[in-house]
Structure formats: C-alpha cells, structure tokens
A and B are shown apart, each in its own frame.
Chain A
C-alpha cells in the first residue's frame, strides 16, 4: 500500500495463558482512519495498548513514517489516546485537562490559544473553567478528544469511543467525531465491537478474531466480498445453511434444493460447506426451497422475516405485506457465498 504512515508488522503479544495478538500486520495511510473491529477477546484492545506503548509486544514492530517506535515509552511516542471511560483528570478543570499535554510548549498565550481552538473544535468553547465531573457523558467524551488532539499527536487512538454514551446520543456524537477527525486530518486507529460504528468512522476496517487479522478492507469490500465465513457473519446480518459443494459454484443444501454460490476461498467439490446469505439477497418466489414464516419483525416500509426451513432459520428482508406469520413460503437466493466448514 502506498504511503503507509503507521505500520504494524507481525505484532505478537502473549499473556500468561493465552496469545492476545498473533502475527498481526496492518497499515494505515496518512490522515486516514482504521477501525479495529472484533468481538470481545479478539485482541483489539490489546493491539491499541501496544500502539499506545502501555504494553510491549513479544514480537513484531510498530513503525511511524518508516521509523520504528516499538520500544519507545508512551510519553515519547506522541500518540494521543481517548480512553473508553475517558480517564479525564477529575481534579483538573476542562482547560487544565486539555492543557496537560501542552506543558512547556510555547508561551502561556500560545497554550491558551490552542486550548480555545481545541475546545471550539469539539464544540465546547467557553467550558474552560468547568469541572470535568460536572459534565455530561457526551461532553466528557469531547473533552477527552480535545485533550488527546491538543498536543498534535502523530496518531490518535480511540478505545470504544462511543460505547459509554446513550444510544440517542451516539449518532450525533459519531458525526461530530468524524467531523473533528476530518478537520484535523489526524491518522487514527479506533477500536470497536460494533460494526455500524466501524463502518461509519473507519476509512478501512480490520476485522480481528482470536488475536488474528481475518480481513482488512473498506466497508463495502468487507460487506460485499468477505473472505472468511467469520467476516461474512460478523459484518452485517446473514443467515447460514449447511451444504455440500457439488460443482465449483453449486451447493446442495441439507434442507433440500441447490443454490448457485460464490466461493471467496477455493473449495474442492464434495466438501462440506457453510452457505452464507444476506437478508436482502433472498426473496420470496414461486419456486425455491420451502419453509414457514416463524417471525415477522416490522421496521416500517420493510420487514424482516424469519423463515423456518427444516432445522435452519433464514432471515429475509422484504416488503411488509409480502407474507404473514405462519404462511408457507418458498424462497430463492440471488447471491450466496460458500465457505469450507470449519472443523
């Protein structure tokens, strides 16, 4: 990749019993946002702490602008971090929190200018003298962002930046955060377990599982062309069916019927596969495999139907009046992916 500003090479970190991160390599372009996405225990927070310098990797290297920083202590790394619970200093005011990273830099006037600039960036102008303990969760989050950005970090690290906010506040805060990142143009790595957040904030998303990188790519790449079954089911909604591959692009479903499938990774005909299909890729039809509507979940113009097919359940997105609870229906898939069954 051209112009990789931040590069992780074969990072490995073991704790007493288990390997938290294993041979992780990923890079981030200057000024872009990488989202590390994975379920809890996937090693994404450990990766962030390795980047910040709070943990030392057992193997591998971290490079910024071609220079290695792997063993640099956090204080000399010039990486800004926004902590999951913000970690604002409770005994300092908003201004003092933001000023903390500006120590010894420029004149006091310069520093005050920078503080005002940062608070304006996160829409908290005039909050200088407030106590951080008096702020709402959303305001605290923004102070944390301002504090991390104030010393002009080379890389900004965000640990689950929105997870501590009320759902109603998340959407807005996410937009504001995205705007602040774009305005400052800072290279950013963020950690999240929510796909929506990763897709909204990340230019690229790296999906982690058990400490290993499953796939990295833009949101459309991950959604449309997942390379593993894990990515296909973890990113976006999907139903799975067991099947046997009969030809390179035909799979015989256990519940009956045959579907045309794509195989992102080569699979030999005759092997057991898992067929993954998105709700919007299935439609009700005259022919196809038959099942009954078990659940209809109304969401407005469209509805999600759960169709019971044998012992499997398929999720179908369709117009609200396409079917009723208990109806016998037939479905066909416009596009389905097949992955070799995991042992």
Chain B
C-alpha cells in the first residue's frame, strides 16, 4: 500500500504533472503551448527525426546483431569463446563515454581522420562526424549488442530436434532459418527491437555531441530548458513521452507468445565446427579483425587518457604521454569532486532502488493479485520514459513548494540527482530482484515462520541471503547506469553536485581531451566491474 503511494508519487505524479502543465498557463487551462508546439516546423522536424532515427537504429542493430548471434552460436572456430564475449563489449561503454571515444577515433581530429588525411595528403579529414549519420553510427555500434545477446540466449534454448525435424521435412538451411528459427525467436527479436527503439528514442549523448544543427526531441527539449523556455520544454516533453508510450504499446503487440519456452527445455545442438583449414582460420582472422574494430573505441579512450593537456595538436599520434590526468583526478579537490559526487549519488540511488525492489518483490510474491499487477506496472514505468522526459518532469514538479500536493523544492539541492537516478534505477534493480523472488520457493519463508522466525529474521536470514545473486546483479547494473548518467544530469545538476559526465563535457569544451578520456576510462572500468559482478553466479 505505502509502496504503491511512494511509486505513484515519484514515478507517475511528475509525468502526470508534465502533461497537465503542457495544457495550463498562468491564466488557467490553455492550448497555447500545444498550439505553439504544433505550429513550429522545427518541432515537427525534431519529432520526426527522433522517430526515424530510432527506427533506423533498430534496423541497423538488427542487421548487425542477428547474423553475429547466429555465427557465434552455431559455428565453431578457434577463438570463438573469447571473440563471442568481445562482441558484447560495446555494452560496457556508458553512452557519453562511447560518444567521446568515437569522437577521438573517427572525428575530424580523431586518429582515423588524421590517418586518412595524412595518407591522402589533405589538410584535414575528408569528412565531418556530424548529423544523423554520426548518430546512427554510434547507435548501431552500441545497440546491436541487444540483438546479439537476446538472440544468442534464445538460440541456445531451441532444441536441436527442431532443426532436424525441419530438415527431414525437406527444408534447406536458409529455409529452416526463415521458417523455423526466426519465427520461434520472435519474442527475442521483439524484445531487442523494443529495447533498441526505446533506448534510441531517449538517446541524448550522441545527438547532443554530434547533432550540430540536426535536432531530435531530446536535444530540442534540453535546448528549450537551457533557453529558459520551460513552458515549451514541458510541451515538448509531453510530446516525446506520448511518442514513447505509443511506441511501447505498438512494439509490445508484436511480441507474441514465448514459443521456445513452451516447446523448449531442449538442448541446443552443438555448434558446427568448420573443417576446412582455410575457412576455419579465415573465420578466426575475420573474427579478430572485427573484435579489434569493436575494441578500438575502448583502446582509443585509454590512449587519449594519457595525453597531457595541450600537447596533442596536429600529429597523427599524441607526442607525449603521462599519468598526469589520473594524478590530477585524485589529487585536485575540484577534479576529485565530480568523481565523489557520482559515486555517492549512484550508490545512494542504487541502495534505495534495491530497497524498493525487495519491498515490491515481497508484495508481488504474496499472492495479492490486485496489488501485484499495479506494482509490476509501476516499477516498469520509468523504463518506458526517456531520461530527458523524466528530468524535465522532476524539474517541473520539484521546483515549487506545495507540501499539500506532495511538491517540495528539490531542484538545486543535493537530493534531486540521486532521486532522478533512483527513479531510473527502479526498473533495472527490480527486474533482477523480482525475477529472483519468483524463483524463490514460497515454502522457504513459510518454513522459517513455522520454525518461529518473525518477519525480520526471515528476511535477514532466509530471503536476503537467497536473493544475493539477484540483488548483486541488479545493484551492479543499476550502479553502473547511474554512474554513467548524462541525460538527467545535464538537466538537473548544480555546480556542487556535478557528476562525472558533466565534468567530461566541461573538459571537452576546454579541449582537455586527456582529462575527458581519463574520466571516461574510469566510468568504463566501473561499468565493466559492475557487469562482471552482476553476471557472476
């Protein structure tokens, strides 16, 4: 009951207020802002850009991710295991960090840009990393992983006899894929498509850094907010939230039932080993080239992080390297501060999100159907809301003092960013924790009760220890996400509470690429560590 109220207040209420405020002015109800929004050409083009960029991202990610999943799950060649793990590596780059890595690598003054200019004898790179193409490049790189991981997980569960049955009925390999494998994996494809679409719709870092004059809704909203036009930002936010909800509803419908789970329980056939040596080692070679390509951003970031400020001008490779940036990070209080800010805010948000998840989990498993559906929906709402929308909603809700309607002035205080991180963490943490609860045999808690243990002792001695893997996994992922957050931070930060991502932006503005990269490396390391903790069983 109290949990429902809490979730309604922090998750639903701000969003509802955004919709409400977009049709309310100083003089009461008005359609003025909506009219302004609708009549502006540039609003429409930003909206359209958001939608088509998202759709194109889904297509690109699918085209890259699905074949990769088939190759690594079905074909055996030397190095398959290591390479298969490497392919998932883009996932450890927080969005902003991935974007700056691309900037250092493929930007006009990045390594590849310089190399090409050198080879062709030009003064500068023959391209500019700008506009929709650049955004799609980053999206494709970071989001194909969803398709790759989901499809591999699905493929691993399809029983080998399925393929044999198709073959014995006369279907060739391609026809088997088209008529058996892909239809069976429809839920996985749909889930990956949904995740890619929603991530892309809410994507902010890539359009912000690479967009230039090309605006999508997220950058448009932040621009309006920074211009002080909060009314317009609110109307835009309502528009984007609407698109997100419609997209979610449409994509949910394509999911279908999980047929693999129904007919599954089978064991996947062993991957087919490549026998001809040339093909075998050719595959390994291509695999390593691909792996290297995927690792280039990470390596670039590490390399650039050793570059002292102001030393790298026109050379292909930086002329000087040193640990100076890292030393500065920990020794200069003003440099250390964003790091500490990010760490404590992410930690606080994660602990709170885990507490809410465990609370929700307890309620959900206690067979009270009415509350269960409600809570499961509520904890998942923030997932469907682009980060920018959430940030604007919080900024609008908590900038006024009106305790009787649940509003306090939190904007500008130390509370607002952890609160934003917390809300974004709730679906991540609860996804894992609720799954853990569902695997828990309810009779274990009953056994504890029948042996005389009260509620707290049962929670402490039985439930929490058994949920440990789920809590660790959800917590690690939530922590990494909050640590790398840029979208909500840029709307809600203050100078004193600025997190790492904001500092990266500041360093970039001062052309201190080394420092920006050093922060990026730290984020990358934390994310990788969190993923390692999270996937350990």
Contacts and interface: CB of A to CB of B under 8 A. Distances in A.
Interface of A: 52-54, 73-81, 83-85, 87-91, 100-101, 103, 147-148, 151, 157
Given A75-B454, A91-B465, A100-B461, A85 B449 contact: no
B400 interface: no
B335 to A, nearest CB: 43
Contacts of B448: 89, 100
Contacts of B450: 52-53, 74-75, 77, 79-81, 148, 157
Interface in B401-452: 441, 443-444, 446-452
Given A85-B441, A87-B441, A91-B465, A103 B447 contact: no
B446 A54 contact: yes
Interface in B461-481: 461-462, 465-466
Contacts of A80: 450-451
B452 A87 contact: no
Contacts of B452: 75-76, 78, 101, 103, 151
A230 B423 CA distance: 59
Given A75-B453, A157-B450, 14 more contacts: A53-B449, A74-B450, A79-B450, A81-B446, A81-B450, A84-B443, A85-B443, A88-B447, A89-B447, A90-B466, A100-B451, A100-B453, A103-B452, A148-B450
A85 B452 CA distance: 20
Interface residues of B, number: 17
B252 interface: no
B443 A103 contact: no
A74 B449 contact: yes
Given A89-B462, A90-B466, A151 B451 contact: yes
A63 B449 CA distance: 19
Contact of B449 (A75, A88, A89, A91): A75
Q: Which 10 A-B pairs have the closest CB atoms?
A: A101-B451, A74-B449, A87-B443, A87-B447, A81-B450, A83-B443, A75-B449, A91-B465, A87-B444, A100-B451
29 contacts: A52-B450, A53-B449, A73-B449, A74-B446, A75-B449, A76-B452, A77-B450, A78-B452, A80-B450, A80-B451, A81-B450, A83-B443, A83-B446, A83-B447, A87-B441, A87-B443, A87-B447, A89-B444, A89-B447, A89-B462, A89-B466, A90-B466, A100-B448, A101-B451, A101-B453, A103-B453, A103-B457, A147-B447, A157-B450
A85 B454 CA distance: 22
Contacts of B447: 81, 83, 87-89, 147
Contacts of A77: 450
B402 to A, nearest CB: 41
A179 to B, nearest CB: 23
A52 B148 CA distance: 49
A60 to B, nearest CB: 20
A52 B465 CA distance: 24
A68 to B, nearest CB: 19
B246 to A, nearest CB: 35
Nearest to A159: B443
Contacts of B444: 87, 89
B470 to A, nearest CB: 13
A103 B461 CA distance: 11
B465 to A, nearest CB: 5
A84 B443 CA distance: 9
A77 B443 CA distance: 17
Contacts of A84: 443
B443 to A, nearest CB: 4
A75 B459 CA distance: 13
B443 A147 contact: no
B441 to A, nearest CB: 6
Contact of B446 (A52, A76, A91): A52
A78 B453 CA distance: 11
Contacts of A90: 466
Contacts of A83: 443, 446-447
Which of A73, A83, A147, A151 is packed against the most chain B CB atoms within 10 Å? Answer: A83
Contacts of A73: 449
Nearest to A79: B450
B4 to A, nearest CB: 21
A79 B465 CA distance: 25
Contacts of B453: 75, 100-101, 103
B31 to A, nearest CB: 46
A88 B462 CA distance: 10
Contacts of A147: 447, 451
Nearest to B453: A75
A103 B444 CA distance: 17
Residue of A54, A76, A77, A148 with most chain B CB atoms under a 10 A cut-off: A54
B92 to A, nearest CB: 30
A75 B461 CA distance: 14
A74 B442 CA distance: 14
B446 A87 contact: yes
Contacts of A81: 446-447, 450
A337 to B, nearest CB: 40
A151 B451 CA distance: 7
